[in-house]
Amino acid sequence: MKEIKVENLFQYINPMKLNTEPAIALASDGKETNGLTIGWAEFGRLWRKPAMTVYVHKARYSKHIFDGADYYSVCFMEPEQKNVLGYFGTVSGRDENKMKNCGLTVLEEDGVPYFAESRAVVICRIMGRNDFDAFSCDDGVKEWYLKDGVHTLYHGEIIKVLVKE
Ligand SMILES: Cc1cc2nc3c(=O)[nH]c(=O)nc-3n(C[C@H](O)[C@H](O)[C@H](O)COP(=O)(O)O)c2cc1C
């Protein structure tokens, strides 16, 4: 893969299409690595840095790994990798070793895991995390949180963007 400037990222991915073109977020806490399919994210600038925020729900196995991690990567896959997106989005690391069973090649960039088969990878350093405040949102949003807890937001500084050569 080759590195590109952060400001050119949207030539390769469309942030408004994550609902139909989700990605896989990967993190390692030094003991375990796991990934989950994500359809929610925000891009922009935070604290004068190029930033990406991902939302990991408390019920996800990945949550404790993201809590123990300093970095995460977000891997945007090719359309023909739909089955892998389905796998990471329906099976939990609680039940099987997804990293081993997924059939993808795990590489590292600055110690951060990512998939070699990705079409674009955003590498983030975690600047901050906070739990979503489900009390001060409108009813449409509240509906998401009636059952089993909230998402934690991981605010990442985008430190590198890699794309397929
Ligand atoms: C298309 C799609 C998008 C998803 N987006 C998110 C998301 O943004 N945040 C989240 O916490 N879970 C999301 N999920 C659910 C997780 O990927 C799913 O629960 C996964 O099995 C969790 O894996 P884990 O338990 O190994 O962490 C999504 C699932 C799908 C299929």
pLDDT at residue number 143: 94
Task: List per-residue pLDDT tens for the chain, 165 residues long.
Answer: 999 999 999 999 999 999 999 999 999 999 999 999 999 999 999 999 999 999 999 999 999 999 999 999 999 999 899 999 999 999 999 999 999 999 999 999 999 999 999 999 999 999 999 999 999 999 999 999 998 999 999 999 999 999 999
Residue 154: the pLDDT is: 98
Pocket test for ligand 1, best of 20, 43, 52, 60 (most atoms within 8 A of CB): 60
Whole-number Å distance, alpha carbon 27 to ligand 1 midpoint, is: 14
CA distance readout (Å), 134 to 94, 137, 156 = 26, 6, 22
> In angstroms, what is the span from residue 35 Cα to ligand 1's centroid?
9
* Amino acid, res. 155: H
The whole-number pLDDT of residue 145 equals 94
* DSSP alpha helix (H) spans, 21-144: 62-67, 82-90, 98-101, 139-142
Ligand 1 pocket, CB under 6 A: 22, 34, 36-40, 55-57, 60-62, 89-94, 151
Q: What is the pLDDT of residue 164?
A: 97
Amino acid present at 55: Y
Which pLDDT score is estimated for 10? 97
In order of 15, 59, 65, the CA distances from 52 in angstroms are 10, 21, 18
Q: Which residues fall within 8 angstroms of residue 108, CB to CB, at 6 or more apart?
A: 114
**pLDDT the model gives residue 140:** 95
Whole-number Å distance, alpha carbon 92 to ligand 1 midpoint, is: 9
The burial class, CB within 10 Å (0-12 / 13-18 / 19+), for 37 is middle
**Domain covering 2-163 in this structure, CATH number:** 2.30.110.10
Ligand 1 atom, smallest distance to 37 CA: 17
Give me 39's structure tokens.
């359809």
**CA–CA separation, 105 and 117 (whole Å):** 7
Q: Domain locations in the chain?
A: 2-163
Q: Rounded to an integer, what distance in angstroms lies between the CA atom of residue 73 and that of residue 114?
A: 6
pLDDT score, position 67: 98
